[in-house]
Amino acid sequence: MTETVIKQEQQPVGLGRIFTHWRGDLTGGITAAIVALPLALAFAVASGVEPKAGLYTAIIAGIVAAVCGGSQVQITGPTGAMAVILIGIVSKYGIEKVWIAGVMAGVIQIALGVTKLGQVVKFIPHPVTTGFTNGIAVIIFCSQLNNFFGLDLPRSEHFLPGLLDTFSHLENINWETVAIASVVIVTKLFWAKITRLIPGSLVGLVLATGLTAYFHLNIHTIGEIPQSLPLPHGIPHWQDWGLLRELINPALALAALGSIESLLSAVVADGMTVSDKHNSNRELIGQGLANIVVPFFGGIPATGAIARTAVNVRSGGKTRLSGVIHGVALALIVVVFAPLAAQIPLAALAGILMVTSIRMIEWETIGLLLRSDYADFGVMLLTLLITIVFDLILAVEVGLIAASILFIKRMSELEMAKVPEAEAFPPGIPLELTQEIAVYRVDGPLFFGAAERFATFLREEPQVKYLILRLRFVPNIDTTALVALEDIYQDLKRRGCRLILSGLQPQVQQRLERSGLLDKIGQNNCFETTDAAIRSLQEPVQEKVLEFQT
């Protein structure tokens, strides 16, 4: 224990701490950049924009978010989840309006961080996040079928019509394209068995590009990528207030997804490292700044990337320097290898994205939900279907509503039971008194979902003179339950029955006092324990017995 304290005290701070871990950060940053290169190109294509936009996004957003964000090891860039939203926005509005929506999304993210709403993501149930993650994986996989089969079809804004269009043109399959995509898929799946030092996606990309060039295959390639870094430029139409109003919904969608995915990625990183845990609010501010800056360099909205962040941590990254190195390394790759990147087949990117999407599906969680709780599995499945058929934001909204209804139902299953006489009454209580008392145990929070059952259950009690509610395991009570309790009190009072409460928790007692119900019931009818309540009733009975004998 003493050694641990000494080590913590000797940990350098600030810039000293950053450069102390520079070797691990250098390895982690470069490795993350190698992994990010094909993914940045692929996700840009999947978003409906030029491949260079993905590279510029990974460079600029990666550096800005690393410096300003709340996670020490987060890697930021284009992601599959963001691509699913962007493809619809690009198809409907065009790239210039995507830039405006990206800036607006960044402003919203900063506002969320400043108002300290970063913790809200922790309240999203796991079945909901699993549902939209799996839905995104399905969309990414199906969106690459055209590039996999070599079909030159227009992009569809909606999932199902686009999928039907693809399958209706399968007679036009380009088998050369299928072969190249298959080479990448096989390489990406099995390369890890040879070595993990070089990512399988990069090996597959190089192999596919080499085969395409050597055999002069007739398949589509990425096309020209400028062999230079982007310079800042203005964004047209950003002063058009009518356009800003039109883009508010896409901006909200981008901000919501960017915030959720980035914070989830930061949580995953926390579980992989012993360094400082992330600051959710600062992370939102950092991601917001990245999304504000990126459009001025021709990039697209970005988020924290779980896979690239994991690669960074596993490769030795420990501080923000690793994220900066990741961006700088990508910039050097663009300057040196841009002409070669232009020859990359779109089919190769399709192969990478298809394998990535399959790995995105949380198979273990699906199995766990199936084994443990069909209701949670239903919430996950509902969220997944709405993500595919409609859109992600609606899916999250419906998923949260479904999860909330399920939560209310579970909490409404209040545990109430009449305590058996052998357990309820302490030794020495006269038989005639036990016949006049009913003791009920209530376990769980008393709130609107359980209030009606609570009231109905107690009204069914046969005539007794004293009804004791043992509330020791009731942690809280809401207004609806207070009203139900007052109705019970009034009903018992009309029947000549005295209501007694035992074991009140501080929160419950405060609510009863503030509502005035405790004054109606009476402080003399509240006891620390059920035994104390019953023994207080024993004295009047004994006095009656003595009076009768006299």
Hey, where are the domains in the chain?
A: 18-407, 415-537
Please, what is the angle between helix 22-47 and helix 320-341, to 10°?
A: 50
Short-list 452, 503, 451, 453, CA closest to 477: 451
Burial class (CB in 10 A: 0-12, 13-18, 19+), 180: buried
Number of helical H runs and strand E runs in the chain? 27, 7
pLDDT tens, position by position, 66-111: 999 999 999 999 998 888 889 888 888 888 889 999 999 999 999 9
Which pLDDT belongs to residue 36? 87
Angle at 454 between CA 450 and CA 460, to 5 degrees: 150
Which pLDDT belongs to residue 481? 83
pLDDT tens, position by position, 241-262: 777 888 898 898 899 889 988 9
Q: Give whole-number Cα distances, 430 to 302, 527, 545, in Å.
A: 75, 20, 10
Which pLDDT belongs to residue 331? 93
Which pLDDT belongs to residue 455? 67
In the predicted model, what is the mean pLDDT of residues 11-17? 48
pLDDT tens, position by position, 450-492: 666 676 766 666 678 888 888 988 888 888 888 888 888 888 8
How far is residue 266's CA from residue 278's CA, in Å, rounded to a whole number?
Answer: 6
How far is residue 476's CA from residue 478's CA, in Å, rounded to a whole number?
Answer: 7
CATH superfamily of 415-537: STAS domain (3.30.750.24)
Which pLDDT belongs to residue 5? 37
DSSP string covering 411-428, please? Answer: HHS-EEEEPPHHHHSPTT
Residue with the bigger pLDDT between 350 and 5: it is 350
pLDDT tens, position by position, 402-436: 888 887 777 666 677 778 776 777 777 777 777 88
